Homo-oligomer: A and B are copies of this chain.
């Protein structure tokens, strides 16, 4: 991964700021002959799009994607695919206050420290708006993957409320505004987040992404490990502070007897009796579900004033009045799915390249 590009054979390069004229993306290395039109991408963008419930920012972004290249008569040609989303809702006036003050928990200070100045409108390049392009690229990645691979994701924790480990009702995900894989927990989330939202506060979340149907053998030693690339992909999403594969951080509390996933045959096919490894051993897929979880911190754009400094060397405080999400983790669900799809597509092509 290098600055604004990720992937090796399936490569995604993005550009665009929150309040600039447009966001864009180049998807390179896509196999030829795959059916692809805007209609294949738009539903995923719509899922990520804000303003769909009271639990996400009320900013209105149409997020209408155009394919500018790389397809012909509805099929990918094998050449680079250019994608573009024009920004339509650029209400810059909302952001006037942050021009000089550094918002705690945001990248304002670090961008200034690195570059000497920054595009302060809505966070500029550091805005989660960039993730629209990951979702678009992920939609293409899904079409590359063999059809038996299914990628599901859900919000499994919000603050101190969590979907129980043994419950993963993926059908429920699209039935509630939190993408929670459990209807009962979704109701808990609703009550909890209503309270957070009314207080002008925010809260963190954990997202779980599961890819089933991944064949054994994808991935690569040593620095191209499937789990290393998933870690990087998820950690690169805005506000993510932790990534787990399988047993994750909890693996530290297990003994070897508990952790070693035993093997048996089922109908002549190797199977595992547990999945502490999250579908990855030695950086290579086992054929089990690939299971990744990541945490998303609460946004610092809250109504309670926070102490900060300004560019001119004064101590001050700030209240972020923009239209923000009480739980940015919700919209991270489709982004996590997209990153899983992109990593798998790249590993698939690389595996096919090396091993035929």
Contacts and interface: CB of A to CB of B under 8 A. Distances in A.
Contact of A300 (B32, B204, B228, B256): B256
As for how many copies of this chain the complex holds, the number is 4
Give 5 closest A-B pairs by Cβ, nearest first.
Answer: A107-B282, A353-B353, A202-B256, A232-B232, A15-B82
12 contacts: A15-B82, A32-B114, A68-B84, A77-B115, A79-B119, A105-B259, A107-B284, A227-B241, A241-B247, A241-B251, A249-B295, A252-B329
Contacts of A198: none
B220 A3 contact: yes
A337 B350 CA distance: 26
Contacts of A79: 4, 15, 17, 119, 124-125, 221
A146 to B, nearest CB: 11
Contacts of A17: 69-70, 72, 79
A298 B254 contact: yes
B256 A309 contact: no
A187 interface: no
A6 interface: yes
Indicate the size class of the contact surface on chain A. 35 or more
Interface in A292-329: 293, 295-302, 304, 306-309, 313, 315, 329
Interface centre among A69, A315, A356 (most CB of B within 10 A): A69
A1 B1 CA distance: 7
A13 interface: yes
Interface in A209-234: 215-225, 227-234
Interface string A329-356: 1000000000000000000011111111
A53 interface: no
Main secondary structure of the interface of A (DSSP, over half): mixed
Interface stretch (A43-51, A55-63, A163-171, A260-268): A260-268
A227 B217 CA distance: 28
A96 interface: no
A283 interface: yes
Contact of A244 (B158, B159, B242, B353): B242
Contact of A125 (B5, B77, B286): B77
Given A9-B350, A206-B249, A241-B278, 7 more contacts: A1-B229, A5-B223, A31-B354, A158-B252, A223-B236, A242-B245, A265-B313
Contact of A306 (B217, B262, B278): B262
